[in-house]
């Protein structure tokens, strides 16, 4: 099924590799996404063979998926069981977030991934998804080619956290994408969205471990594991109340790493 998307006409304006400079925000700026009223969670080892660096983990005190924003960038943060870039080389998998932009929670319209599949140097990719190949599935492949790509060294990093959910130090995968890329594709700071967070063996879909879903119960459906409704920028969501976890939400170990900012690139914060 082909869905009509106004954002599709903007692809030619961003269909290119882009270079930019950004500084990741401090830990307190990150706000957890929520599922069924709770912070994004995921059990250790629930989706073999997506284990180790592909295993997303989190509980009510240490969210599996978070985000932050400023006037220039959207920042995504994903908690995993092991460092996806040991020694600085990104493992040959992908991690990312799918966004619903049209209110139909059985489809997604935008996908942001970071991957080491094409090269251990890594890349961040932004895809649109206007054609449904696999109905109600996070593994539905996005439209190719990517609407925008960025070098991992410019747009992503891994950061050690203070949590040890699996008995070893967890890591964050951090991604930064400019609003100038996202807005023409339909995602603005105040756009209502639902999201899905996961790992993958491909760069254009999420087919690995999915948050807010117990992989031992079978495959994840988009409409069954979707996040609570929010906005592109968490500070624009009246239900969140901005940084630090949001109004009425306990302050989480959301930042995890002791690194409190710094240039985009491979970083390590020791807790």
Give tens-digit pLDDT for 79-131. Answer: 999 999 999 999 999 999 999 999 999 999 999 999 999 999 999 999 999 99
Closest residue by Cα to residue 47 from 195, 210, 204, 222: 210
268 located within any domain:
no
Contact 260, 268 (CB under 8 A): no
The DSSP code for 205 is S
Of 129, 155, 151, nearest to 141 by C-alpha is 129
Beta bridge partners of 139: none
pTM of the predicted structure, to 2 decimals:
0.86
**Is 73 strand, coil or helix?**
strand
Residue 101 belongs to some domain of the structure: yes
**CA 198, 202, 206 angle in degrees (round to 5)?**
25
Q: Is residue 154 one of the residues assigned to a domain?
A: yes
Strand order in the sheet with 94-100: 16-17, 148-151, 123-128, 110-115, 94-100, 192-200, 230-231
Assigned domain for 106 exists: yes
The structural domain count of the chain equals 1
Helix ranges (H only) for the chain are 11-14, 152-155, 179-182
Binned at pLDDT 50, 70 and 90, residue 1 comes out as very low
Residues 6+ apart with CB under 8 A from 120: 89, 90, 91, 92
* CB distance 130 to 8 below 8 Å: yes
Spatial separation of the C-alpha atoms in residues 140 and 251, rounded to whole Å: 35
175 in a structural domain: yes
Q: Is the pLDDT of residue 10 over 90?
A: no
Write a three-state SS string for 91-128: CCCEEEEEEECCCCCCCCCEEEEEECCCCCCCEEEEEE
Which of 8-12, 15-19, 123-127 has the least mean pLDDT?
8-12
Is the pLDDT at 260 greater than 80, yes or no? no
Please report the pLDDT score of residue 166 as a whole number. Answer: 86
Residue 227 domain-assigned?
yes
**Which residue range forms the structural domain that includes residue 31?**
6-251
Residue 271: pLDDT over 70: no
> What pLDDT does residue 269 have?
30
Does the residue 264 lie in any domain?
no
The residue ranking higher by pLDDT, 261 or 154, is 154
The answer to whether residue 58 sits within a structural domain is: yes
């Amino acid at each position: 099924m082909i869905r009509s998307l106004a954002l599709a006409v903007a692809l030619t304006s961003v269909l290119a590799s882009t270079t930019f400079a950004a500084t990741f925000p401090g830990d307190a700026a990150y706000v957890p996404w929520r599922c069924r009223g709770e912070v994004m969670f995921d059990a250790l080892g629930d989706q073999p063979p997506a284990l180790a660096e592909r295993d997303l983990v989190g509980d009510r005190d240490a969210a599996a998926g978070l985000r932050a924003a400023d006037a220039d960038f959207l920042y995504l943060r994903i908690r995993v069981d092991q460092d996806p870039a040991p020694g600085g080389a990104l493992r040959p998998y992908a991690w990312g977030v799918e966004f619903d932009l049209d209110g139909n929670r059985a489809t997604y319209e935008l996908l942001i991934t970071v991957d080491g599949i094409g090269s251990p140097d890594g890349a961040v990719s932004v895809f649109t998804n206007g054609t449904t190949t696999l109905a109600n599935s996070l593994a539905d492949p996005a439209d190719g080619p990517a609407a925008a790509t960025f070098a991992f060294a410019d747009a992503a990093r891994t950061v050690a956290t203070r949590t040890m959910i699996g008995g070893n130090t967890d890591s964050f995968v951090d991604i930064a994408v400019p609003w100038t890329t996202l807005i023409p594709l339909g995602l603005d700071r105040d756009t209502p969205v639902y999201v899905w967070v996961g790992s993958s063996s491909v760069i254009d879909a999420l087919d690995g471990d999915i948050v807010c879903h117990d992989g031992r119960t079978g495959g994840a459906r988009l409409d069954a594991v979707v996040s609570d409704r929010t906005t592109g920028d968490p500070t624009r969501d009246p239900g969140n109340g901005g940084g630090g976890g949001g109004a009425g939400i306990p302050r989480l170990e959301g930042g995890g790493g002791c690194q409190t900012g710094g240039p985009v690139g491979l970083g390590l914060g020791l807790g």
